[in-house]
Structure 1
Amino acid sequence: MSGFDDQLASATPASSLCNVEAELGLLGDLIADNRMIDLCADRCRPNDFSVPLYGQVYAQMLEQSARGAAVDSVTLAPHFAADAEWSRLSSVLAAASLNAGTRDRTKAYFEQVIALSARRRLVAGLQDVVVSARDLTVTREELVANADEAVGAMVDDSTIRQASAGSYAEQVIESFGKPIVGVRCGIIGSLDDAMGTLRPTNMVVVGGRPGMGKTALVTSYSIGAASRGHGVLIFSLEMSADELTRRILADMTFTNKGGVPYEHVRDGTVKPHEIDAVRAAQRRLNEIPLEINDGSGLTLQRFIRQARRHKRRLEARGEKLELVIIDYLQLMSHSRRGMSPYEHASEVSMGIKQFAKDEGLTVIAVAQLSREVEKRPDKRPIPADLRDSGQIEQDADLIVFVYREEEYLRRSEPEDQYGAKYEAWRTDMDAVRGKVEFLVPKRRSGPTGKGVGFFFGANAAVRGSEFYGQSYSEGASR
């Protein structure tokens, strides 16, 4: 048997994870119609071919096509003259090109080549995981991360969308007069005004120092958005689903007439006269599209895979996922050992932004800020305070900082409660008590600015500046 036959035989395992005839057919069709080469180039790579020589030929075809040169067995020949197997392959390709079929047939070959390649990569990746699993020096977290990457190889990366600017302009004009597509909260009106409607593909970063109320803000926002019919998925990395649900229940009982204290819901000490409000909140939760994912060890790839799975599950029910919340970004697990905090934060930030763009939904990522904030007289955050990576600032379409002067003043309470300093401190505290500032230093699609709202720590809730002007029924129904 010739070397070419050996190569062919070794590339055709009984597992059917390759189809040599489809690979030959695809190469022949591309020679017959060079215009198809560019259409394949974005998704099909040379290493998607199971036979190394076929991959080398395909790579040369891409190179010649990119230069505008004609591609056929004659123009390819000089590049493979030294290869003993080229003579046989050249004849096969010439014959295949003469028998080229329709574009639908070429597409079928193309789709099968890349699908089988993805499966081969998956098998290879999982085999590596099996080998690693036998090595007791490899941690469980590393095994999970390696398995995630192997499964991630199956994800179709055909996300390139291209059309003429004129066709996109036509879509813009057709959208005039139609409702704006995007997410709004409704129960934090001053924040909605400061941020505007959150559009599909947006990555929103909510930052603040500990104690500023970041989780309360995104929780209240998610409740409001889901109550308006927007599908919401929360990835809770800092607290368990049980803890977060207790905060949500306390928040949902809260109106400008009062509510069930978070402490009571947290500790299970709800009073008899409060239980009806909690049950009513639970019934509302059953009616709105809000789900919580509190899985541990969440890498970027696992996040993307789980969010996509939830999106597909909703679509199968005729529903839509519009908003994903991550609390918080820096708690995502490293995808590989030895990553620096900067590399990790940059990878996660870029991955989340790409995910939002590919899936056409909004992602809100909560982020911690560096301690540098505490060293300044004015402790209002600026984008440079985002911890670990300037990439986060670059990727974000919108940045919102949560700032409460009350928290800083509380820490500076004078010991002498009868002196002039204490009176001045109490006056300052009264002026800022319960107030929260929403600072928007970056807004890619609109003006920057700020809004003011209210933070109700006892109820784990955030509301807008319009809160006290709402009627009881409005507050209860939202």
Structure 2
Amino acid sequence: MFEQQLANASPAAPLQNVKAELSLLGDMIADNRLIDLVADRCRPVDFSVPIYAAIFARMLEQYAAGATVDAVTLAPFFAGEEDWPRAFSTLSAASLNAGTRAQTKAYFEQILMLSSRRRLVAGLQDVIASARDVTIAKEELVANADEAVAELAEQTATAQATVGAYAQIVIESFGKPIVGVRCGMIGSLDKVLGVLRPTNLVVVGGRPGMGKTSLVTSYALGASSLGHGVLIFSLEMSADELTRRMLADLCFTTHGGVPYEAIRDGTVGRTDLDAVMQAKRRLDEMPLEINETSGLTLAKFVRQARTHKRKLAARGQKLELVIVDYLQLMTPSRKGLSPYEHASEVSRGLKEFAKAENLTVMAVAQLSREVEKRPDKRPQASDLRDSGQIEQDADILLFVYREEEYLRRTEPEDQYGSKYQAWQTDMDAVRNKIEFLVPKRRSGPTGKALGWFFGGNSAVRGSTFYSELEENYP
């Protein structure tokens, strides 16, 4: 019965318009200037008739070489084709039968639409065929189905206009709110970073133990509490562990909080349970999600992030920030890539994704051990592990540094000597302090700022946390 219903659902009319395809070719011969306009969005594969696809491809080659394109110059390449005589007669009379620009546009738009539908049908048919093969994993079926449906949302238009047109857009933006992401929870960091603009790739670097994950989760909580849609790809920690950290972070205030250790181990007492439940209710209201897909390749990342963006858009929300923790843990797209090649591939891909989807990507990156060899262990751009490409692709480099972590490792064994007292004084001076270093920022000045790191609560706050003068963001 199901097979019969499926057969009956097949369309009676093919997804093609042969006359529109031939008419479009004729219009381009009648006015060769149209070839450039059409070539920006149309490809040979968009033609359903093979010879028309071949003719279009040859027209592009000739026009690019500066040659006049007409039926006569095309004839030598297709003289042996069975369908060429009919096409030749139509194209020869193109100058007499050319339509208006409005007609040409109508043909063009319909050809693109029908081509997109054909690819969608072909993709879904492949999914149906794969679904019958029980050896194919469910995850692969879902990925293939998503790719097929994503064809409808593909943006094929070229993002190009005159500088004057872009200048007009800039002028019209004057006086309007700045579009972008900010945290609000870490005021001093917001000041040194500014608003994270769409298309930006922000790389957060630091050595192990510096608080990179705590920083990006605190940033995500602050941003999403302001209404920014945030998606975190957690490659190092499980979603369970990351969520426990977020609950501890949200419970933390100037008056204390619920220790992360208690939330991690499930030993929260009755007096603290209300605070945890209140934090959970706050999370319910945030447009914040965690993706813990294993074996995450760049292609899978792009596909899943785009899927989430469409889901948010369907709910009237907007995905503005995607966080990857961390960059070097993404799975290589193919075997044999060196660490340098892999890191370069990922950083370029993340930047291209941010630009294509008009959102901000924040990627955590490990730094090399060269940091440990210097007396001053504050990170530098050259410390980015595996690839200088990361530094090149990033719009913003943000390094985190905690003197406390390095000083802790030098604790004297004799707790009653003068060295220990001096060490204790130094520890008190840097306790819970974190430095935000910004050595690269394309859209503004570089700089640095101070903040507070509370490891026991997995929380990062701005420099004015204790004075409760944190800048208020509406």
Please give the range of the TM-score, normalised by the shorter of the 2 chains: 0.7 to 0.9
**Equivalent residue for 1:105?**
106
**What code does the residue aligned with 1:107 have?**
F
What is the CA–CA distance in structure 2 between the aligned matches of 1:58 and 1:461, rounded to whole Å? 59
Counterparts of 1:56-71 in structure 2 under 5 Å? 56-71=54-69
Report if the CA contact (8 A) 1:321-1:361 is conserved.
Answer: yes
In 2, are the aligned partners of 1:207 and 1:401 still within 8 Å (CA)? yes
Letter in 2 for 1:197: V
Change (3 A) 1:390 1:321: same
CA contact (8 A) 1:372 1:385 kept: yes
Contact 2:309–2:318, Cα closer than 8 Å, also in 1: yes
2:47/2:111 contact within 8 Å kept: no
The answer (yes or no) to whether the contact 1:25–1:109 under 8 Å persists in 2 is no
State which drifts further: 164-173 or 458-467: 164-173
What do residues 373-394 of structure 1 show as CA deviations (whole Å, max 9, x unaligned)? Answer: 2222221111121122222111
Shift of 1:270: 0.3
Match in the other structure for 1:217:
215
Task: Tell me which moved more, 227-236 or 113-122.
Answer: 113-122
CA distance in 2, matches of 1:123, 1:463: 48
State which drifts further: 381-390 or 392-401: 381-390
**What is the one-letter code of the residue matched to 1:195?**
L
Q: TM-score scaled to structure 1, two decimals?
A: 0.86
Q: Where do 1:340-379 residues align within 5 Å? A: 340-379=338-377
Alpha-carbon shift at residue 422 of structure 1 (Å): 2.3
Q: Identify if the C-alpha distance between structure 1 residues 326 and 164 changes in structure 2 by more than 3 Å, giving closer, same or farther.
A: same
Report the CA distance shift for 1:338/1:225 in structure 2 as closer, same or farther (over 3 A): same
After TM superposition, list the pairs within 5 Å mapping 1:179-190 onto structure 2.
Answer: 179-190=177-188
For 1:174 and 1:220, the matched residues in 2 are separated by 34
Equivalent pair of 1:404/1:437 in contact (CA under 8 Å) = yes
Question: Structure 2 counterpart of 1:294, which letter?
Answer: E
- For 2:461, which of 457, 460, 463 is the aligned residue? 463
Q: Distance in 1 between matches of 2:231 and 2:110?
A: 38
| SS, match of residue 454 in structure 1 | strand
Paired amino acid for 1:110 = I
Shift of residue 341 of structure 1? 2.1
Q: Number of aligned pairs? A: 460
Amino acid at match of 1:279: M
* Cα 1:121–1:225 shift into 2, 3 Å: same
Aligned to 2:231: 233
Report the AA paired with residue 106 of structure 2.
R
User: Is this contact kept in 2: 1:216–1:462, CA < 8 A?
Assistant: yes
SS of 1:469 mapped into structure 2: coil
Is 1:325 equivalent to 2:323 in the alignment?
Answer: yes
User: How far apart are 1:227 and its partner, in Å?
Assistant: 1.2
Superposed CA RMSD in Å reads 3.3
> Do 1:145 and 1:299's aligned partners in 2 also have CA atoms closer than 8 Å?
no
SS at match of 2:411: coil
Give runs of aligned pairs for residues 109-120 of structure 1, distance below 5 A. 109-112=110-113, 114-115=115-116, 118-119=119-120
- Are 1:49 and 1:113, in contact at CA under 8 Å, matched by a contact in 2? no
The worse-fitting range, judged by mean Cα deviation, of 93-102 and 315-324 is 93-102
Any conservation in 1 of the 2:127–2:141 contact (CA below 8 Å)?
Answer: no
- Paired with 1:247 and 1:26, the residues of 2 have a C-alpha distance of 59
Which position in structure 2 is the counterpart of 1:310?
A: 308
How far does residue 69 in structure 1 lie from its aligned partner after superposition?
Answer: 3.9
Aligned to 1:3: none
| Superposition deviation, residue 134 in structure 1 | 7.5
Q: Which residue of 2 aligns with 1:419?
A: 417
CA distance in 2, matches of 1:141, 1:405: 48
Q: Describe how 1:184-203 pairs up with structure 2 within 5 A.
A: 184-203=182-201
1:262 is matched with 260
Task: Give, in whole Å, the separation in 1 of the partners of 2:315 and 2:134.
Answer: 38
- 1:242 to partner: Cα distance: 1.2
- Once the two structures are superposed, residues 243-289 of structure 1 have per-residue CA deviations (whole angstroms, 9 ceiling, x without a partner) of 11111110001011100000011111001110111111111111222
In structure 2, C-alpha distance between the alignment counterparts of 1:452 and 1:202, rounded to whole Å: 23
Alpha-carbon distance in structure 1 between the residues aligned to 2:67 and 2:12: 38
**Paired-residue identity, %:** 65
- Residue 416 of structure 1 aligns to a residue whose secondary structure is coil
Per-residue CA deviation, residues 22-74 of structure 1 (Å, 9 max, x unaligned), is 54343233323433321221232334445554333212211233345432212
Looking at structure 1, the residues matched to 172 and 195 of structure 2 have their Cα atoms a distance apart, in angstroms, of 19
**Distance verdict in 2 for CA 1:147–1:232, change over 3 Å:** same
Change (3 A) 1:123 1:477: closer
Query: Is 1:23–1:109's contact at 8 Å kept on the other side of the alignment?
Result: no
Q: 1:397 aligns with which of 387, 395, 398?
A: 395
Kindly indicate whether the alpha-carbon contact (under 8 Å) linking 2:434 and 2:451 is maintained by their aligned counterparts in 1: yes
| Counterpart secondary structure, 1:273 | helix
CA distance in 1, matches of 2:108, 2:63: 19
Deviation, structure 1 residue 469: 0.9
Alpha-carbon spacing, 1:331–1:133, altered in 2? closer, same or farther (3 Å): farther
The 1-side partners of 2:460 and 2:178 are apart by 25
Q: Deviations over 1:429-450 (max 9, x none)?
A: 2221111110101000011111
Moved more, 213-222 or 38-47: 38-47
Once the two structures are TM-superposed, the CA of residue 197 in structure 1 deviates from its matched residue by 0.8
Deviation, 1:124, is: 10
